[in-house]
Structure 1
Amino acid sequence: MGKKILIVDDERDILDLYVGLAKKEGCDVRAASSGEEALAAMKEGDFDLVLLDLFMPGMSGKQVLEAIHSNPRLKNLRVVFLTVADSSTTGRGVIKQFASVEYVQKPLSVHEFVSTLRRLLG
C-alpha cells in the first residue's frame, strides 16, 4: 500500500486532477474540497502528507493548519500549502506568515505535480 495523502482544494477540477495523478503514483488518496471536510477526514484516519490549498472560501488553509497544530495527534503531520501566492510583495507577505510550512505554487503542470509529489514522499 502506498503513502496516505489528503489533498484539499476547493477547485473541483484541480482536486480531481491531483487525486488521479497521486493514485497513478500508487498513493492511497483522500480528497476534501473544504477545510471542514479536511479536518473531518483527519479525525477518521492518519495521513503521511496533506496537500492543502491556502486560499479557500469558508475555513482557509491557515485555519486548517492552526487546527492541525492545536491537536496533539496531528501536530507533527507534514502539511504543504498549494497556493497561487507568488514571490510578489503580496505573495511574500502571505507566505512569510507560514515560514515553517513548505509551499508549492499553483498552477502545477502534470509533470510538476508528479515530480513534486515524488520529492515530498521520497
Structure 2
Amino acid sequence: MKKLSKKILLSILIMSIVFSSVAFAQTSLFETIKNHLTSIKNDYLTKESALTTDGENAQNELKNYVDDIETEIRNELDAYEQSKIQEAKNKLNQEVEKVKDKINNDKENMIEEMKNSIKEKIEKDLNKEIEKLEKNYK
C-alpha cells in the first residue's frame, strides 16, 4: 500500500506540475495575446490623426484669409491716406495762391504807402535841417 500511495502521490505531483505549467502557459499565452491586442491601441494613439491634418489645413486657410483681408485693408487705407494727403496739398496750394494773389493785388498800394512814408520822413528830416541852418544864421 505504501507503494500505491507513493504512486498516487507521485501521480498527483506530476499532474500538478503538468497542470500548473499548462495553466502558466495558458496565462502567458493569454498575456501575450492581450499585450499584442493592446499594442493596436498604441498604434492609434501614437499616429497622427486625420483630424490633426484637417486642423492644420483649417489653420492655414484661416491664416491665409486673415492675411488677404489685412492686405486688402492696408491697400484701401493706403489709397485713402494718399487721396487725403493730395486733398490737403491741394488746399494748401490754394491757400498759398490766395495769399500770393492778395499780395500781388495789394503790392502797388503797399509800395505807394512805403514811398509816401519815406517821402514824409525825408521831408521831415529836410525841414529839421533847414531849421537848423536858419537858426545858425540868424
Question: Which TM bucket (shorter chain)?
Answer: under 0.3
Larger radius of gyration: 2
TM-score, structure 2 normalization: 0.12
